[in-house]
Amino acid sequence: MRIGAVITAAGKSSRMGSFKPLLKIGALTVAEQVVRNFHAAGIKDIVLVTGNNAEELERSIVHLDLVFLRNDRYEYTEMFDSVKIGLNYLKDTCDKVFLTPVDVPLFESRTVDALLKSKADIGIPVCKGETGHPIILDKKAIEKILGFSGDGGLRDAITNLSLDVEHIETGDRGMLYDMDTQADYEKILRLHNSL
């Protein structure tokens, strides 16, 4: 079975005020951390969808083994459009694909392992009742999501496509933490430093 991952990193980071993928967590940038989380779980087919500051971001992690795709219309589109760009690239070569925005850098490889065991169309990680990232899609889910044209993004697609969804308890606090603001980033740094 071939497994891939799509990391969306095309956004403008407007609420953060700094370009999120290149912020540091310890010795690594946020983008490097997310890629390395997948590598640690044995995931090799990784796509990073860039847009804002694309060249700078791509240059910073070109040494890692991944594919760069561009959402050239990132200023006018939503994250769901970047998701579709990545899924479209992997749909014919991968049996399952992980999805995560770049700003959830602290999920653990054991979460990836737990999601890989799911037999559902979509597996969503849970920690203490809260959902997080990455999620995993099988081929059926990928095809249906690529054909979905509603306005509510990925969440709306999952709700409306009659797909079998499994929520998987992981005990992984890291997969709950995304960073939209400076305060979020500071929380992530504190969590990282406590691990």
For the domain made up of 3-194, the CATH class stated in words is alpha beta
Those residues with Cβ within 8 angstroms of residue 68's Cβ, 6 or more apart along the chain or in another chain = 47, 48, 50, 54, 58
pLDDT in tens, 133-148: 999 999 999 999 999 9
Indicate the pairing of strand 135-138 with strand 122-127.
Answer: antiparallel
> Which H/E stretch holds residue 114?
helix 109-116
Q: Would you list the domain boundaries of the chain?
A: 3-194
Distance of alpha carbon 188 from the chain centroid = 16
pLDDT in tens, 135-189: 999 999 999 999 998 777 888 888 888 899 999 999 999 999 999 889 999 999 9
Ramachandran angles phi, psi of 96, nearest 5°: -140, 150
The sign of the torsion formed by the CA atoms of 142, 147, 150, 151 equals: positive
